[in-house]
């Protein structure tokens, strides 16, 4: 049982300090939907090898931030760069090629495609970046249940399996930075633990994670650093372990 639980000390591995090179940098990013200012001047950074979590209440702007990074929605002002490249110069379908993969809110698997087709579709714009079959085998060994169900339509999978498929699909893009939007949403606690254990494993194998979560306790337990978002702006940030003990965070997001 203890094996399936995310390692609470994982955050110590990097000591909550500077990891590798900066991968993703956001500077004073604003996003508006019509007259609604959903994100109001966010600055943040994700470094190579980290798990960074973005926590906050419903409507705080977490999903909007991820969608802006993936270029699914335009930003009103500010700068976003990935490995030094200006992200705003790329349309959404080219962001994947830069190395950013996105597990969207609600999983977004294609129910009318089989598990294998969902995974293969994510390699659409991959050219010569590693061995696709090897990655497929890696996804199947990370998620044995997907291997068992490879020829089933994704619509026949359970919620937990669909979340695994969404993560597996992101891995198949060959990206280095994975954006995850509420992977725990709607899942039983035991499945949430399993997903988080796998996320830690994926991170150990070299993928950097930017994790958006309402389940703040779980997210802070596996993350190295965290940003707390409130009504479109960052209120608190720091090493995840310190935020777990921060009275402001405990009161507002950890229910203690």
56 beta partners: 229
| Residue 99 binds another protein, judged by CB under 8 A | no
- We find the least distance from the C-beta atom of residue 219 to another protein, in angstroms, to be 21
Binding mask 118-137 for another protein (x = CB under 8 A): --xxxxxxx-----------
Supply the DSSP string of 94-113, one letter for each residue.
HHHHHTEEEE-TT----TTS
- We find the least distance from the C-beta atom of residue 192 to another protein, in angstroms, to be 22
Of 13, 14, 76, 113, the one binding another protein (CB under 8 A) is: 113
Strands 225-230 and 208-213, bridge-based pairing: unpaired
Size of residue set near another protein by CB under 8 A: 28
d(CA 233, CA 225): 17
Contact, 190 vs 144, CB < 8 A?
A: no
d(CA 59, CA 175): 28
Contact, 183 vs 200, CB < 8 A?
A: no
| Residue 63 binds another protein, judged by CB under 8 A | no
| Residue 97 binds another protein, judged by CB under 8 A | yes
Give the angle subtended at the CA of 18 by the CAs of 16 and 23, to the nearest 5°. 115
By beta-carbon proximity to another protein, the closer residue of 12 and 92 is 92
Of 4, 94, 156, 205, the one binding another protein (CB under 8 A) is: 94
Residues near another protein (CB under 8 A): 70-72, 91-97, 101-102, 104, 108, 110-113, 117, 120-126, 169, 173
């Amino acid at each position: 049982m203890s094996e399936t639980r995310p390692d609470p000390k994982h955050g110590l591995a990097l000591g909550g300090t500077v990891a590798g090179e900066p991968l993703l940098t956001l500077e004073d990013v604003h996003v508006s939907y019509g007259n609604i200012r959903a994100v109001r001047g966010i600055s943040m950074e994700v470094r190579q090898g980290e798990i960074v979590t973005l926590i906050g209440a419903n409507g705080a702007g977490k999903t909007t931030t991820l969608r802006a990074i993936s270029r699914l929605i335009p930003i009103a002002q500010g700068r976003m760069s990935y490995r030094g490249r200006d992200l705003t110069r790329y349309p959404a379908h080219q962001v994947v090629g830069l190395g950013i993969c996105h597990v969207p809110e609600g999983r977004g698997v294609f129910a009318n495609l089989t598990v294998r087709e969902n995974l293969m579709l994510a390699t659409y714009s991959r050219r010569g970046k590693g061995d696709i079959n090897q990655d497929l085998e890696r996804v199947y060994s990370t998620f044995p249940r997907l291997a068992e169900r490879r020829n089933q339509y994704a619509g026949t999978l359970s919620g937990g399996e669909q979340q695994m498929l969404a993560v597996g699909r992101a891995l198949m893009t060959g990206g280095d930075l994975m954006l995850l939007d509420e992977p725990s949403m709607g899942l039983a606690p035991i499945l949430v633990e399993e997903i988080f254990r796998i996320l830690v494993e994926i991170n150990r194998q070299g993928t950097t994670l930017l994790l958006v979560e309402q389940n703040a306790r779980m997210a802070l337990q596996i993350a190295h650093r965290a940003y707390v978002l409130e009504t479109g702006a960052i209120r608190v940030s720091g090493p995840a372990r310190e935020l777990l003990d921060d009275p402001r965070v405990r009161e507002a997001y950890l229910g203690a």
